[in-house]
């Protein structure tokens, strides 16, 4: 990938920085809740990192419901997975849940934002010897940070930031790092063609959930306004993209990449979970 492309997506640090949590001082950093203005050279996700967890109840109020289904799927896989890839780990929320569920497992957690990875590192201090954190854009080579075949890939709401062609290419690379018979549990935001009245109800539910979440956070309204403002400015500057696919496209592209049994197993008003397997 050329550097211009890197810049467009706001990931200005093209060199990979690989670290693991063993190297970190064990004292936890205090959370900053003050909403900061972005540094002009900063990518959208680097700005978002310190605010991401506070924003979750507002921008993704049903994530824990969806993730509990994701974890149920993971828990049902036999034999119990020993090596897991968390693609687009963000601040490590899902990574921590995976490690709590599977205390014997090792997780390779990859993300393109150094600020997200630093927050993940601080959040994952309880699992220092079970995790490898790596900075990489999904479109660049990241496979070399993985030193063993992967039993399960988990993913939650990161891949819809890729253009569709890049997403299809990433699927072909994901299947290569998987062990034969390995699973991909893929949760993402989709484009849905819902009939207007259904869409209206879904929007009303989402607005109600957002408003309820805002009431519970002292600076919720300020945070959401700032998030919308910075996301829109980043999108306008070409530093942030969202290109959700249709559910049928997801299944077709997973199948085209060589996965079998690609199927949607869960959906809420925003996120769907797909399950797919690499043939034995
Ligand atoms: C909405 S967050 C989801 C984070 C996490 N999976 C979670 O469950 O909270 C999207 C994440 O994808 C990462 N990301 C977006 N586009 C990326 C790309 N092209 N390469 C690597 N990471 C990317 C962002 O840095 C961000 O941490």
Domains and CATH numbers, the chain: 3-24+41-277 (3.40.50.150)
For the CA of 137, the nearest atom of ligand 1: 20
Structural element, H or E, at residue 12: none
CA 197 to ligand 1 center in whole angstroms: 32
Whether ligand 1 lies within 6 angstroms of the CB of 157 is answered as yes
Among residues of the chain, what percentage have pLDDT more than 70? 85
Q: Using an 8 Å Cβ cutoff, are 180 and 279 in contact?
A: yes
Q: Which of 32-36, 123-127, 258-262 has the lowest mean pLDDT?
A: 32-36
For the CA of 161, the nearest atom of ligand 1: 16
Whether ligand 1 lies within 6 angstroms of the CB of 10 is answered as no
CA 163 to ligand 1 center in whole angstroms: 14
CA 198 to ligand 1 center in whole angstroms: 29
pLDDT band at 270 (very low <50, low <70, confident <90, very high): confident
Measuring CA to CA, how many Å separate 212 from each of 33, 50, 92, 200, 215? Answer: 19, 22, 25, 18, 5
CA 166 to ligand 1 center in whole angstroms: 15
CA 49 to ligand 1 center in whole angstroms: 10
CA 90 to ligand 1 center in whole angstroms: 5
Measuring CA to CA, how many Å separate 111 from each of 78, 157, 178? Answer: 27, 12, 18
Strand order in the sheet with 178-189: 18-19, 131-135, 106-111, 83-87, 150-156, 178-189, 271-277, 260-267
Per-residue confidence (pLDDT) for residue 31, from 0 to 100 = 40
Structure tokens of 238?
């070409």
Looking at ligand 1, which residue's alpha carbon is closest to its atom 9? 90
pTM value is 0.88
Question: How far out from the chain centre does Cα 175 lie?
Answer: 18
Per-residue confidence (pLDDT) for residue 1, from 0 to 100 = 41
CA 196 to ligand 1 center in whole angstroms: 30
Q: How many Å apart are CA 245 and CA 262, to the nearest integer?
A: 15
Looking at ligand 1, which residue's alpha carbon is closest to its atom 27? 90
CA 72 to ligand 1 center in whole angstroms: 22
Over the stretch 81-127, which tens digit does the pLDDT of each residue have?
999 999 999 999 999 999 999 999 999 999 999 999 999 999 999 99
CA 88 to ligand 1 center in whole angstroms: 4
For the CA of 88, the nearest atom of ligand 1: 12
Whether ligand 1 lies within 6 angstroms of the CB of 94 is answered as yes
Looking at ligand 1, which residue's alpha carbon is closest to its atom 8? 156
Over the stretch 142-194, which tens digit does the pLDDT of each residue have?
999 999 999 999 999 999 999 999 999 999 999 999 999 999 999 999 998 88
Whether ligand 1 lies within 6 angstroms of the CB of 89 is answered as yes
Looking at ligand 1, which residue's alpha carbon is closest to its atom 17? 112
Looking at ligand 1, which residue's alpha carbon is closest to its atom 10? 158
């Amino acid at each position: 990938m050329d550097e211009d492309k890197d810049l467009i997506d706001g990931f200005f640090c093209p060199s990979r920085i690989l670290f693991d949590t063993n190297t970190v001082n064990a004292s936890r950093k205090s959370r900053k809740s003050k909403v900061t203005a972005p540094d002009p050279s900063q990518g959208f996700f680097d700005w978002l990192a310190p605010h991401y967890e506070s924003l979750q109840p507002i921008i993704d109020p049903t994530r824990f419901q969806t993730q509990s289904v994701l974890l149920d799927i993971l828990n049902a896989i036999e034999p119990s997975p020993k090596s897991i890839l968390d693609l687009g780990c963000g601040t490590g929320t899902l990574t921590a849940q995976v490690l709590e569920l599977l205390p014997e497992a090792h997780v390779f957690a990859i993300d393109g934002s150094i600020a997200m990875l630093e927050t993940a590192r601080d959040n994952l201090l309880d699992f220092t010897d079970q995790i490898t954190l790596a900075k990489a854009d999904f479109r660049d080579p990241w496979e070399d940070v993985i030193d063993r075949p992967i039993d399960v890939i988990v993913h939650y709401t990161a891949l819809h930031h890729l253009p569709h062609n890049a997403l299809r290419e990433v699927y072909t690379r994901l299947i290569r790092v998987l062990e034969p018979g390995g699973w991909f549990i893929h949760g993402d935001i989709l484009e849905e063609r819902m009939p207007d009245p259904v869409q209206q109800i879904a929007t009303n539910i989402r607005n109600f959930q957002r408003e309820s979440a805002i009431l519970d956070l002292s600076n919720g309204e300020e945070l959401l306004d700032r998030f919308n403002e910075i996301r829109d400015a980043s999108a306008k500057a070409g530093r942030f993209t969202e290109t959700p696919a249709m559910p049928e496209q997801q299944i077709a592209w997973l199948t085209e990449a060589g996965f079998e049994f690609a199927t949607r197993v869960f959906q809420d008003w925003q996120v769907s979970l797909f399950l797919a397997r690499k043939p034995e």
